[in-house]
Amino acid sequence: MRLTRQIVREIHAHCRGLVRTYLPETGRVLKTDLYNEVKGGFRHLDGVGLNEDRTVWLEYDERTCRLARVRFPHRMIVRGDIRALPFQAGNFAGVVDLSTIDHVLPDQMPGVLQEYRRVLERWGRLILVAWTSEGGNPEAQRWNPQAQYYLPDGDMPRCLEGFDNVGSNVIYRDGQYSLVAVVAEKEG
């Protein structure tokens, strides 16, 4: 599987459409992972249309946080881990994860989704883009060959327990690998 710049631009356009269509118009938003915005080869993908005044940007890596604070001095950037979010319950109207969850082991993914649910306010929305496959995500496996970073096909309903109005569709497919977009609301 090879993601060309054109494919990535198309994926980005789809993500921008998800944010524009499904993210609540008011309230705070949590955006996970700043790698692409700061260090990745696709800096033009920055933000996917998020309102900077109401968005908190979460990043795991300290060096990436430092670079982000220099590049984006007006953004609220917090160092943290999606497996244990450093926020109180009910703090966000929306959570946007554009393939961040791919960086945790499959058995940790349900816990991450429950953390997203925990920090969402009543009827808050999760916008999630994640790789699904029966064989793993080879792009991520280059970074850690011992782990498989993917949401196993068919596991989405179990992982999204506690969410309502779940909708999903495939936004990119290449052989056995798919990039799936999910929009879900926290139950009221």
Residue span of the structural domain in which 36 resides = 5-186
Could you tell me which residues are beta bridge partners of residue 55?
29
What are the DSSP calls for 67-122, one per residue?
A: HHHHH-TTSEEEE-BTTB-SS-TT-EEEEEEES-GGGS-GGGHHHHHHHHHHHEEE
pLDDT, tens digit, 9 for 90 and up, residues 118-131: 999 999 999 988 77
The torsion region of residue 158 among left (phi > 0), alpha (psi -120 to 50) and beta comes to alpha
Q: Residue 157 corresponds to which tokens in the numbers above?
A: 């309903």
Its pTM stands at 0.84
Question: For 147, which DSSP code?
Answer: -
| Average pLDDT per block of 10 residues along the chain, 188 residues long | 75 85 92 81 61 90 92 92 97 92 81 94 90 55 42 57 77 71 82
- State residue 15 phi and psi, 5-degree precision: -65, -40
State how many domains the chain has. 1
pLDDT, tens digit, 9 for 90 and up, residues 38-79: 876 555 556 567 888 899 999 999 999 999 899 889 889 999
Q: CATH code at 55?
A: 3.40.50.150
